[in-house]
Structure 1
Amino acid sequence: MDSSRYDVSYTPNCVEVYRDSNPIDTNSYIARAYDVNKVVIYDFPSSAMVDSPTYFIIDATDSGSGNLEIAISINEKNIPNYVQNEGGARFRVKFIPDQIGTYYVHIKFNGIDLYGTPFKCDVFSSDFTIENYEYAPINKRTLFLIKSKLNSMFNSNIHINILTPSGNCIEGKIEEKSLNIYAIRFIPNEIGDHQIIFYSDKEKKHIITKYTCQVYDVTKIHISDLLPAIPHQLYKFTINTIDAGNGHLSVKIKQNANRITYDQTRMDTHNYEIAFIPETFDECIVTILFNGDNSLGPLTIPIKSDSKQIHVSPISPGIVNQPIVFTVDLDEAKSFSVLITESHGGRMVPHTMTTLSSERNRYQIKFTPNVARQHTILINYDEQPAFTYHVDVFDINKIRVSSIEDGTVGVPLVFTVDTHGAGEGHLEVTISDGRRTLPAELKSIQARKFDIGFLPEIHGKHSITIAFNGIPVDGSPFEIYIRDSPTSDKESIQEDEDEDEEEEEDIGDHEFLIGGQLEGTKVGELAWLICDSALSDIYEDFDLFVTDPDQTIIKHTRIQDSGGRWRVEFEPMKYGIHQIQTSDNSTDDSPIILASMDILPANYRRIIEGERIIHPNVLNFITVNSNNDNLKIRLRRKINFFFLI
């Protein structure tokens, strides 16, 4: 820099507004400051293989408030990328290169390019892809899958070395699992990056490609002491992963089965601070996931017992137009108030408060909901928030059951239950033939609409009891008569195929293709679906959001591919019906439900493992866990056409 030129730097902390050199008023306007240089990129790949998932991390924890923009392109054409929030302001970005060449990753923060952008990733061709290699737990058998690409055969005579962080070399052995699918097995015993190197020759001089597997040990995570918390007061604890290896940390916090929002701050490379505010006097359950591994199990944060100066009776789910009643007992005669609102929209709901005992400071609270929505009850004590409860309200009269016809022994019988407009709850169906309870299959065919099917085994009267949140629906129990089968097995099969055809026609009307497992996505797994139509052409002022079973809006990622299709991804924290909704801003009507997904509990054990969406011209796998040696499976594409399995 020459002697006549100077650098001037300053730190902004406010913005003053002027018009014609005159201040509009004497007040300052606070402006949020941010630092684009604090946005950090981790694990960016300098090279990748065609059709292989490629990942990197963006950490904007210390950069201040702002918006991230990510664009990945080759030959000036953008390709889809998928962003997953891993807590706080840390994001995992995934893209799948579809051709060889140099890919450019442009990243902006509040419209300003990050230093080093565009980042370059050179993509090479290969006759195979490798899956399930990114992370592996220490001292556990790890399996990498190798799949040949379309119209190519995998050369199983290639040679593989696995290079450990200490420099030791493990020779990888390739095992054939099935046609054109191979596997590499090894048990890592070191924490850190392991290089998986593919060679084309026995002397291992010519490298085809290499991948990095990060081995971690979740038991080496250090957590600060979890001292008792105080309701409605900020609580913090720290997590240190320096000895556990590299990976992605996420946390789930629940209180009384309700998810608690939290802030996750990355203080340095391996230190995280978790901060949240307990809502009630119930203990807090913390689940820590490292690279998706929750082997640490649930941790418990107790609530200080000496802070419990108010006692609230259990509050059960309510019914529209029927009063909900609960009691509140105070340890001391201090100021006390209750605020009840509809969770969606915030409309206040009137209530009454009756003194049951002035000596014991006991009160009865009563309110009558008139809509089937979740309600929030906020209880203040001594002018401070003390309790927050979320109460589901449902309308049993909104449930509609299709006509249930008499049936025939050995012929599946299907009827429909529509719970649209009934609110959140659990649908219970019990079918009895007079001797025992028959297994029933419940299948979600549309948002809040279910097909219930069962197979009659004997003739005679059958009773079908249908309840919602434990309350029988109108007409329950339903009675039908099952007659002996007068038809041949062939005719029964034809009738079954006819029902399948009707079902197929119904499914074809849906706009959304739900991805994930055949039996459904579980809590903690990535839930995703694809919209196959231009929703912005159907709904004016289109705005999509995702709600959990409590009708609480949750975070989601939405990406539009080159064909104009939207892919929606979210991580469910609760089991039950999650909805994809939109609204027409020109009206005040309830949200429009576009699709729904029934999320399974985290401990649900699947009978069938396999992807819901299969791919043509490649081998697709479905695993069935059954003790039946005579199990028969068939996959039907259309009437009288079956795939061999």
Structure 2
Amino acid sequence: MISFTYSNNIIIQVYDVNAIKVKNVSNGTVGKPVTFLVETSQAGPGNLEVTVNGGRVPTSAQAQGQHTYAISFTPRDAQNHTVELRFNGQDVPGSPFTCRVSAAARIQSPETLDKVSVGRLFEFVVESDTEPSVEVLGPARRSVPVKIDALDGIGYNIKFEPVEVGDHSVEVRLPGGGHVEGSPFLLKSYSAEKVIVTDIRPGVVGKSVSFGINASQAGAGNLEIIVAVNGKNVPNYVQSEGNARFKVNFKPTEAAPHSLSVRFNGHPVPGSPFTCQIASAPISLPRALATGEGLKQAAIKVDNTFELEGFEGVEPQVFVTTPSGDNIICQLSPQGGDTYTATFQPTVVGRHLISVTASDKHINGSPFSCNVFDVSRVSISGLDQQYGPAALGVPVTFSVDAAGAGEGTLELVVSTDTSTVKAEVVACARGLYDVTFVPQTTEPHYVNITFNEVPVDGSPFRVDIQQTTHHIQIGSLA
């Protein structure tokens, strides 16, 4: 209760309780001060008493001028509070007043308040009597549309849908106020659709099999990897290669298709579950051999061969698998006895697997890893001499771009009919080089370039050289 006496220095002590004016009586929130004004300028002298809930809630008064007072109290319970005002023992008009006090606005935390999948609605509830304002900013600080729906007797349901991977800032405020309890908070959006599983190759019982996972663009989350065969899980080991890239290894013990299940934050990644074909261990054919350069390295769109021998009483089977897992045709030509020639023509650049089997079992060394390259994708620029022959003693620089040709060895020789010319090679980027040589004679120079011992288109390139001409003026032209 507040009790205070004031006087306006009028000798005749006359007062009028009906002249007391109470302003700005509003509802309140638990834990936040409720303030209203009492104006007494026309009421005359007297004693003003203010009590909240019969005096159980402390109150305070602060003068706002000569005849105006700010009355404040801080509610601790979410219930109606009764405010009584008396002037010289008489009730002020309208007293007692009722102040409705509600619980402080807060966010009801859903089960997962830290992560959400791109393209899926994220929902949470704000307990509040007043509709909140909600702002959601995506990774690039772009605003995300928000829908707010009223819930009877509970508060408001907030919905929004992230459209890009990354951190989202969520701020919830009440009109004219600060953040509600639990705001602001950070929400990490992710996308299982952006997880890429690569390099799934056929394997052999007893030999380690690996495949890759690239989650660098998927956002924050957890990978769940299960390798199984015939309803049984196979132990797998994950090796981090940095930047959210991983290599998964397992060693099969059964010759049967293995299921590779990959999930990100509980969601299957595109293509999951995958299938990895596992064949039996190599057969006991001690003389069965596969030999030839075509097992290690092959050129695109041309016939590549290797030899098979030692297949006594059994016909070999050959499967060539592309980097994407497709099979390409491999033809077998009997050469007499237990010997065969295998011929295949790859159409894409990259590592191919060559499986050589007999009676559905791999021979020793199978599957073989073959590097397929495309020499036609090696390009040369700067040797066309469109401005005429090069000058004697002046450096000649040209570029070699082998970035799209696949793995291989690039060899380059600059020569004349009588000697070899020194050339300096500078690697500018992966597969991109600048080459410089200085001609010392005027005879034609030839640039020989091969990739994996196959000449590139146009090689050898001819570079003509001319004597540098100096014009010296002697005397006057007049």
Task: Name the TM-score class by shorter chain.
Answer: 0.3 to 0.5
Higher-Rg structure is 2
TM-score by length of 1: 0.27
TM-score, structure 2 as length reference: 0.36
